[in-house]
Each structure stands twice: as structure tokens, then as C-alpha cells.
Amino acid sequence: MPAVIDLRSDTVTQPTPEMRRAMADAKVGDDVFGEDPTVTELEKLGADLMGKESCLFVPSGTMGNLISILVHCPRGSEIILGDESHVFNYEQGGASALGGLVYHTLPTERFGTLSFEEIKSAIRDPKNDHNAAPGVICLENTHNRCGGTVLTPDYCWKVSEIAAQAKVPLHLDGARLANAAVALNLPIKDLAAPFDSVQFDLSKALASPVGGLIAGTRDFIQKARRQRKQLGGGWRQAGILAAAGVLSITQMIDRLKDDHANAKRLATSLSKLPHLKIDLETVQSNLVLVTIQPPLIPADFVAKLKSHGILAGSPRGNKVRFVTHYHISTADIDRVIETAGRTIHS
């Protein structure tokens, strides 16, 4: 059998050989005591990368979002976010379960944006005793369930103005913010600038084995550090993991353009096949969202690809997701295209 081509997610990436060596040789200490030099190095790099005062290394992007939301929001207040957001759909309602917070969802538009008017309407008067007070507004960049679409700085600044006028903090789930920056050919700090806090993942297309970063003001990060400890996220010799994160930031961002080119190549070719519909304008980074049309059955299509050594994301309704990453070559993409064509015509 040929090698398996795993397009289920960019979370399947494994550390590069350089990362493995750096992890083995990492200088470490007890990070709960603030004594791990490699964690300190990573957090400084992250703060500089996102143009924020301070940064915190966390075990996962989900924990990073949860910590940020809990720091921003008093109990009983609302999280204003899109109905297709990762925070709402894939994080087990953690802010509600652990923080006593209310999810106030808004319709997500085609490219992952939320309507300015919808956001304004969702910010209810905290002086009205009938209302849950607004706690935080959350955006996502790139947007997972919209197919990896990219939010522009112009859009985010306009939302920031709405948030500032209402005195409501603005948080970014920037799990794939590096992909957005590469797609727009802009520094990451330009995309992070409109936000009071940013969550940035290291373990997706940047190939770290685990972990993410939260960035914000020094005061915010001090509170986030306490919240991380309460959630059981206090590290000890975490420099072993942080060493990979350092290389994610310094070596893995520029190469994301190859993943984007592979995604575009895949999407363009698959869209020409019968029963596969792709909104090509939404293929802006490393995600390809395919709508499977009758008589083709999504689960059957995924199963047939798997029988040929190609793994696609589990069907979500009539949609199947493909994600390009560090381990996927152009030759792999060509094999997927050829196999998909044979599968559909068989």
C-alpha cells in the first residue's frame, strides 16, 4: 500500500526533525515558579509576534479561548459570537459549564464575518435588569467552519470600534491566525492589533506537538496565568514543549504558503468532478470544504477514499473537509485528485 495521505486536519502534523532535537536539548525549569527559560523565550517571541505586551503558553487552543473568556467576563454575562464559531461548536460549552456564562450566537456570514448591525443589536443594555450584560465579543480567523476564510484587519477594526464604544472587550480565536497573515501577506501583529486578547495555536499547521499562546496586556496575562492554574494548566518542565513552539514561530510560518497553494490546487480540481461542489472563493488558506451532492453519499465517498489510503474529515451533514499541512506534498494532492476522480466514476 502507498503511504497514507492524512487530510483530516492540520492537527495531525508531527514535530519536524529540528523540533525533536530542540525538544531533547531544551533548557527547562519549573514554569509554575517562572523558572523555565525556554517557556519564557517562547512567550516573548509570541508577544512580539502578535504585537502585545505579554503572552502565556497554554496546553491547547481550547483552553486558551476558555481562559481568555473567563478573564474577560463576569459570571452571568454574555459571549457574543458566531453560530458557526469553533468556541460555540467544538469547546463543550466550557465557558457556560465553568464560568456561568451565556452564549449569544449571531448568524455567521459566508466568509466568517458577523454583521455589524447584528453585533450592535446583541450588545444589550447592562443597566436593564432583564438582560444578561455583554461580557466579550469573539471573532475567529481563519474561520474553520466557513472553509478557512480570512478576516481582514479593516473588518476587525470596525468590530473593535463597536466593541470599544460599548466598553466590551474583543477576543480573537486565532487558532490559524498565521494562515490568515500569510494569505493576506501581512504581519501577524497587524491582524492581532484590533483585539484585546488573542489565542494563537502552535499545534496545527505550525507542527508543534501540543500547545498554544494567549496574548494581551500584562494585566490580562497575569490574570490569565492564575486562571490557567485553576483549570489545571500549570506547567512544570514545559520547556520541552516550548522548544517546538519556538521553531513553529521562527521556521514554520513562511512555508504555510505551500499549504495554501496545495489547498487551491485540490479545490480547483475537485470542483470539476461530478457531485462535488466547492465555493472556490472561500478557499483562502489551507482548508477545503466540499459539498457532496446526490447520488454520491458523503460517508461512502470518505470510506472509498480511505480504502485507497486517503483520509478526509468525517462528514458534517453533506460536507467533507480536507486540510493541507506540512506533511502533504503536491504529489500527494495529485494522488488525491486522481483517486477522487476514479472513486466517483467507479
- CA separation, residue 166 to residues 125, 132, 159, 190, 319 (Å): 9, 14, 11, 23, 37
Can you give the pLDDT at residue 302? Answer: 97
> What gap in Å lies between CA 74 and CA 101, rounded to an integer?
8
Find out whether 4 and 337 touch, Cβ atoms under 8 Å.
no
The DSSP bridge partners found for residue 56 are 214
Find out whether 104 and 131 touch, Cβ atoms under 8 Å.
no
Domains by residue range for the chain, with CATH: 5-12+255-345 (3.90.1150.10), 17-251 (3.40.640.10)
| CA nearest neighbour of 145 among 173, 184, 186, 178 | 173
**Cell of residue 223, nine digits:** 490574570
Over residues 267-297, the pLDDT tens digits come to: 999 999 999 999 999 999 999 999 999 999 9
Residue with cell 466590551: 168
Phi, psi (deg, nearest 5) at residue 174: -105, 45
Does the pLDDT at position 1 exceed 70?
A: no
Sequential DSSP letters for 79-90: EEEETT-HHHHS
> What gap in Å lies between CA 325 and CA 181, rounded to an integer?
16
Q: Whole-model pTM?
A: 0.97
pLDDT band of residue 346 (cuts 50, 70, 90) is confident
Can you give the pLDDT at residue 61? Answer: 96
Q: In what order do the strands lie in the sheet with 319-323?
A: 276-277, 287-292, 319-323
Over residues 64-92, the pLDDT tens digits come to: 999 999 999 999 999 999 999 999 999 99
Distant-in-sequence, close-in-space partners of 225: CB < 8 Å, separation ≥ 6? 56
Distant-in-sequence, close-in-space partners of 59: CB < 8 Å, separation ≥ 6? 210, 211, 212, 233, 235
Q: Encode 116-135: b = buried (16+ Cβ within 10 Å), e = exposed.
A: eeebeebbbebeeeeeebbb
Q: How many CB atoms lie within 10 A of CB 90?
A: 12
Q: Encode 249-288: b = buried (16+ Cβ within 10 Å), e = exposed.
A: beebbeebebbbebbbbbbebbeebeebebbeebbbbbbb
Over residues 211-269, the pLDDT tens digits come to: 999 999 999 999 999 999 999 999 999 999 999 999 999 999 999 999 999 999 999 99
Phi, psi (deg, nearest 5) at residue 137: -110, 135
Over residues 158-178, the pLDDT tens digits come to: 999 999 999 999 999 999 999
> What gap in Å lies between CA 153 and CA 333, rounded to an integer?
31
